[in-house]
Amino acid sequence: MTASLRRELLDACRELDDRGLNRGTSGNCSVRVDGGLLITPSGIPTRDLSADALVPMADDGTWVGDEAPSSEWRIHRDAYRHRPDLDAVVHTHSTHAVAVACLRRDIPPFHYMVATAGGDIIRCADYALFGTEELSRNALAALGDRRACLLANHGMLALGATMPAAIALAIEIEALCEQYLVACSAGEPVLLDDTQMAEALERFATYGRPTGPEEPHGR
Ligand SMILES: [Zn+2]
């Protein structure tokens, strides 16, 4: 376990906190490592977190060290199994994502940036108790081949090839949720049709090369 990976994950936690996407002990994040993952511990506020407290976890769910992993470790572990091409996972309880998740709505194609998650909608996973295998199953079903989903009455999940990409996606989804709620409060947003979203997806698939579709440059 390299010190630089621990540092990267600690910096990610602080950035999510600084940006207001997570507060106190809510939310968690991880990066893939050889044979498993490095994940935030359970119950330590980010301001008290040190690089040493991050928890190396094997793919079978066992861990070493004094700290227990986040109660949501199954989602992280299962997400890496589900998406071998992605190496970072961010989970937030950010306000606007939670608000849409409490309405149990998918984020519809009200804006072309919805395509940054890799599809024409961003699904909301069925509700299950936090920390359970059922929640992990529901989250993977909602993710499908996409890089993000909402978790009903809970929060948001964003995946990336790198931690900066996962954080950028989480920030974008939080913004989309805020914009969607504002639009809904003023009326009924006009949704883009299948052809328009297919165009947006195609553009994202090619726009950022060589860094690829992970980097949503399409503003
Ligand atoms: Zn959570």
In the chain, where the domains are located: 3-207
Count of alpha carbons within 13 Å of 15, Cβ hemisphere only? 17
Q: Which two tokens stand for residue 186?
A: 């003023």
Average pLDDT of the segment spanning 135-152: 98
Q: Which of 8, 72, 172, 215 is catalytic?
A: 72
> Ligand 1 centroid vs 156 CA: distance in angstroms?
8
Q: Does 8 qualify as catalytic in the annotation? A: no
Q: In the predicted model, is pLDDT for residue 162 greater than 50?
A: yes
Give the model's pLDDT for residue 65.
82
Average pLDDT of the segment spanning 83-94: 96
Give the model's pLDDT for residue 1.
60
Q: What is the DSSP letter of 57?
A: E
Each residue of 28-56: b (16+ CB within 10 Å) or e?
A: bbbbbbeebbbbbbbebebeebeeeebbb
Place of tokens 């059922």: 134
> Ligand 1 centroid vs 100 CA: distance in angstroms?
15
Give the model's pLDDT for residue 178.
98
Q: In the predicted model, is pLDDT for residue 42 greater than 90?
A: yes
What does the pLDDT look like over 187-196, one tens digit per residue?
A: 999 999 999 9
Q: Pairing mode, if any, of strands 148-151 and 155-160?
A: antiparallel
> Ligand 1 centroid vs 201 CA: distance in angstroms?
29
> Ligand 1 centroid vs 4 CA: distance in angstroms?
26
The answer to pTM > 0.95 is: no
Give the model's pLDDT for residue 173.
97
- In whole numbers, what is the pLDDT of the chain averaged over residues? 92
Give the model's pLDDT for residue 66.
85
Contact present, 158 and 90 (Cβ < 8 Å): yes
What kind of fold does domain 3-207 have according to CATH?
L-fuculose-1-phosphate Aldolase (3.40.225)
Give the model's pLDDT for residue 211.
46
